[in-house]
Structure 1
Amino acid sequence: MAAARWSPAAFLALLLLLLPFAPSPARAATPGKSPSSSSTAVFQLQGAVYPIGHYHVTMNIGGPAKPYFLDVDTGSDLSWLQCDAPCQSCNKVPHPWYKPTKNKIVPCAASLCTSLSPNKKCAVPQQCDYQIKYTDKATSLGVLIADNFTLSLRNSSTVRVNLTFGCGYDQQVGKNGAVQAATDGLLALGKGSVSLLSQLKQQGVTKNVLGHCFSTNGGGFLFFGDDIVPTSRVTWVPMARTTSGNYYSPGSGTLYFDRRPLRVKPMEVVFDSGSTYTYFAAQPYQATVSALRAGLSKSLKEVSDVSLPLCWKGQKVFKSVSEVKNDFKSLFLSFGKNSVMEIPPENYLIVTKYGNVCLGILDGTAAKQTFNIIGDITMQDQMIIYDNEKGQLGWIRGSCSRSSKSIMSNFP
């Protein structure tokens, strides 16, 4: 959903760096071709939950290809770049604004335009206008365009594929140019047909499978395709329909603290890499806070910290979560028999620059969320797999702070 990412008050971003391209010429993708199981693209990530607040990837777009930093968001469908079309309200970004040409504009009658807005009337038939509203009231307004993305695959080939995305010329995140953005735009990897992942599948480049691994030490990796998905030890659950949108959801989970049920109603859960922190609805949030407070050592005192709403200070200044994690207990979300996600203290705490430890699970009612969001903090040091081919979500714990070449050895 990327709500916090583009808010002027709490802008957070994550960087993903594209793996070096092979020197061989890029081949064009063949629409409709069935993707090979070995057609997988792997990208290195940059960023962290705190203090950066995001992970991003470098995508090479256009001809000649130019690099753009894109915030990775599994909670939305339309990717977009800040765009000089001309720009009406854009941020300062790491690279020059993308400048489209008329021959790249997608017409209103195009199928992806129709799927994005099924009941849309074409005010201008030659172009497909869009407007996206995020949960923090930020918006992106623009037109759809199609341009080449150059991707390096694990089989050592390079592919050039024409993909549709948004050319955002009006971003409502502050006065024009006043907000410095850490990324050039958004990489949307949701379930919709306009998602880049769905387009890669339709054009025969990769299967409709993605995964990411965010390191608690910063960085990590992202992949499209299924040939590095572990063959064992993965916890799999069927994707479930949500009442609040077409999100990636493992369904309703039962919440436990220190292996004891918190006696709250089953929680509708979604996985969203566009959210830095995890959000619980009112009842599970209050139950979690009460359980934490009841079990804490008297050496920890609640303290005000501008970083997050609920923080504690110790008898000394903390430098890392490892120094204080033994004072906290694990949470667990059970989605059925043998389908449990453990949330250890490392996956819900941060240590701020002030030396306090803070709870990275927030009250979703403040953001008017009716469901529960598993954000980046809780997905750290796990490979999270979104398998749209088989309709399932998976996770497996392991180190994410290593090169992509060692992925298979770390997740057997």
Structure 2
Amino acid sequence: MMYDQVFVLFLFCLLFTTSSAESNHKWRSSVTMFNNNDYQETKSSIIFPLFGDVYPNGFFFAEVSIGQPPKPYFLDPDTGSDLTWVQCDAPCVHCTKAPHPYYRPSNDLVPCKDPLCSLLHSDDYKCDDPDQCDYEVEYADGGSSLGVVVKDVLSLYLSTGIQIRTRLTLGCGYDQLPGASYHPLDGVLGLGRGRSSIVSQLHNRAVIQNVIGHCLSARGGGYLFFGDDLYAASQITWTSMSSNDINHYSAVAVEFLFGGKGTGIKNFHVVFDSGSSYTYLNSQTYGILLSLVMKEIEGKPLQEVNDDQTLPFCWKGEEPIRGISDVSKYFKPLTLSFASGWRTESQFQIPPESYLIISSKGSVCMGILNGTAIGLQNLNLIGDISMQDKMVIYDNQKKQIGWVSANCDRLPNSNALFL
């Protein structure tokens, strides 16, 4: 859902484009299968390398190939929204700068009567033109995208070594307003629970299981995958998705712990959101956590600073802090404890390394923010910073969310890679 404020030089993205495109070419298989709607479902996955980081860039992105011939686009993987859209020149009314030339859509417009079109609108929506489906997506950071829905070919690579090209539905965005967390990318890769998401469409074509996962490295980069063949379910810690929130990957924690001890915060509803770099808590929970952190570092060689505006709360040491390992001993881990069965609990651990950053000024800053203060009301978001160095899995078929500690620095070993 892209909430956090980041300021990124567009030139950096352009320089990064060349190196990432060259490295991607090395691991792709040359086997192809073209636009077959009758795939025999196998145990396979689709894997995307991820680029970027939580800080200083403030976002991750995947390269997706769209069109005939296929062209690369950098998309923000967002588990908080469904529709995938790309900025296009059809013509572009308001568009932001992007790493690639604007997408030129195919002439395959999705008509208004298409079932996928109805998913993007309220029940009383009436078409201005029956031959096309319009869309408008608004994000919590104030950003938005307006455009028309089209079908086009996506080139994807299965972990079995097969390249597939399949026609899927996506948005051609010709009117974008950047929000507070503006990212200089080509568009958004919608990974939400809805039937209009790319993964749901692939599942309906029996290409993969309706499962999404990501592994974000604290050192930058990582990978994103669709499908279920990259992990053993028995090795994953699972909790059920909330049945009261069908729009998000959410769960209800039995208790919120600080340093292994109770905080008094129970029945804590959280949303796992890859579109948010930082973690956001409602004002009450945030206030409790902040007071606990402040109390914990009393007497420690850390002093709160006001001249570092990287994040709301930063501290400096007696010397510039070089890495989180220099100061992590002064902070305690957080834990979300979820009910996973009768008298059993599953725990999502957030060590100091997963809620702190080291700023460019050599301060240590807390990457957990007050969500109520920016309009998220009582919503609690687990953002990228707190999911680093974990494989996090959203199993839409079994309605469960899973996680396990992982090395996210290397792509998982499979036949489609390193060829």
SS in 1 for 2:291: helix
Aligned to 2:31: 24
Partner of residue 391 from structure 1, selected from 390, 399, 404: 399
C-alpha distance in structure 2 between counterparts of 1:181 and 1:137, whole Å: 13
Please tell me the residue identity of whatever aligns with 1:285. Y
Secondary structure at 2:315's aligned position in 1? Answer: strand
Give the CA deviation at 1:2: 2.2
TM-score by length of 2: 0.90
Deviation at residue 389 of structure 1 after TM alignment: 1.5
CA contact (8 A) 1:382 1:396 kept: yes
Q: CA deviation at 1:320?
A: 1.2
> What CA deviation, in whole Å up to 9, does each residue of 1:45-72 have, x standing for no partner?
1111000111111001000000000011
Question: Does 2:119 correspond to 1:115?
Answer: yes
In structure 2, what is the equivalent of residue 335 of structure 1? 338
Structure 1 window deviating more from structure 2 (14-23 vs 232-241): it is: 14-23
2:387 is matched with which residue: 379, 382, 391?
379
Retained in 1: the 8 A contact 2:144–2:178?
yes
Give the counterpart of 2:143 among 131, 138, 141. Answer: 138
Q: Percent identity?
A: 44
Cα deviation for residue 248 of structure 1 reads: 0.3
Letter of the structure 1 residue corresponding to residue 34 of structure 2:
R
Structure 2 CA distance for aligned equivalents of residues 155 and 269 of structure 1: 35
The structural deviation recorded for 1:299 is: 1.2
> CA offset at residue 28 of structure 1?
1.9
Change (3 A) 1:9 1:137: farther
Is the 2:252–2:267 Cα contact (8 Å) retained in structure 1? no
Aligned partners of 2:129, 2:208: CA distance in 1, in Å? 34
Aligned equivalents of 1:303 and 1:112: distance in 2? 51
What is the aligned-residue RMSD (CA, Å)?
2.4
Q: Distance in 2 between matches of 1:390 and 1:319?
A: 43
Matches within 5 A, 1:344-355: 344-355=351-362
Tell me the CA shift for residue 42 of structure 1.
Answer: 1.2
User: Cα–Cα, structure 1 residues 352 and 242, in superposed 2: closer, same or farther, change >3 Å?
Assistant: farther
Residues 358 and 50 of structure 1, relative CA distance in 2, 3 Å threshold? same
Where 2:413 maps in the other structure, the secondary structure is helix
Q: Is the 8 A contact 1:61 1:149 kept in 2?
A: yes
Structure 2, unmatched stretches of 5+, are none
Residues of 1 paired with 2:414 and 2:328: CA distance? 28
The correspondence of residues 167-246 of structure 1 with structure 2, limited to 5 A, is: 167-173=172-178, 181-242=183-244, 246=247
The alignment status of 1:272 with 2:273, answered yes or no, reads yes
C-alpha displacement of 1:116 = 1.4
Structure 1: how far apart are the matches of 2:102 and 2:261?
Answer: 52
Matches of 1:351 and 1:406, distance apart in 2: 35
Deviation at 1:180, TM superposition (A): 8.4
- Output the CA distance in 2 between the equivalents of 1:86 and 1:232: 50
Asked if the contact 1:92/1:181 (under 8 Å) is kept, the reply is: no
**Aligned counterparts, 1:128-167, within 5 A:** 128-167=133-172
Per-residue deviation at 1:242? Answer: 4.1
Distance (Å, rounded) in 2 between the aligned partners of 1:265 and 1:2? 27
Please tell me whether residue 282 in structure 1 is matched to residue 272 in structure 2: no
Residue 130 of structure 1 contacts residue 142 of structure 1 at CA under 8 Å; is this kept in 2? Answer: yes
Are the equivalent residues in 2 in contact too, given 1:77–1:190 (CA < 8 A)?
A: yes
Query: In 2, Cα distance between the equivalents of 1:130 and 1:235?
Result: 37
Pair 1:306 & 2:309 matched: yes
Alpha-carbon distance, 1:8 to partner: 8.0
Question: d(CA) in 1 for partners of 2:398 and 2:354?
Answer: 27
Q: In the TM superposition, what is the alpha-carbon distance from 1:402 to its structure 2 partner?
A: 1.6
- For 2:323, the equivalent position in structure 1 comes to 320
CA positional deviation for 1:264: 2.5
Residue 166 to residue 60, structure 1, CA distance change in 2 (3 Å): same
Q: Which moved more, 1:355-364 or 1:132-141?
A: 132-141
Report if the CA contact (8 A) 1:44-1:404 is conserved.
no
Partner residue of 2:51 out of 41, 46, 67: 46
Amino acid at match of 1:70: L
The 3 A distance-change label for structure 1 pair 9 and 62 is closer
Cα contact 1:197–1:208 (8 A) shared by 2: yes
Tell me the TM-score normalised to structure 1 length.
0.91
| Structure 1 pair 172–49 and aligned structure 2 pair: CA distance change class (3 A) | same
Distance apart, 1:164 and its partner CA: 0.6
Residues 99 and 276 of structure 1: CA distance in aligned 2, closer, same or farther (over 3 Å):
same
Q: Is the 2:8–2:184 contact (alpha carbons within 8 Å) kept by the matching residues of 1?
A: no
TM-superposition CA deviations, 1:267-317 (whole Å, max 9, x none): 210100000000011111111111111111431111122110011111110
Distance change >3 Å, CA 10–CA 240, structure 1 → 2 = farther
Shift of 1:218: 0.6
Aligned 8 A contact 1:215 1:401 in 2: yes
Letter in 2 for 1:313: K
Instruction: Report the secondary structure of 2:289's partner residue.
Output: helix
Q: Is the 1:242–1:251 contact (alpha carbons within 8 Å) kept by the matching residues of 2?
A: no
Q: Unmatched 5+ residue regions in structure 1?
A: 408-412
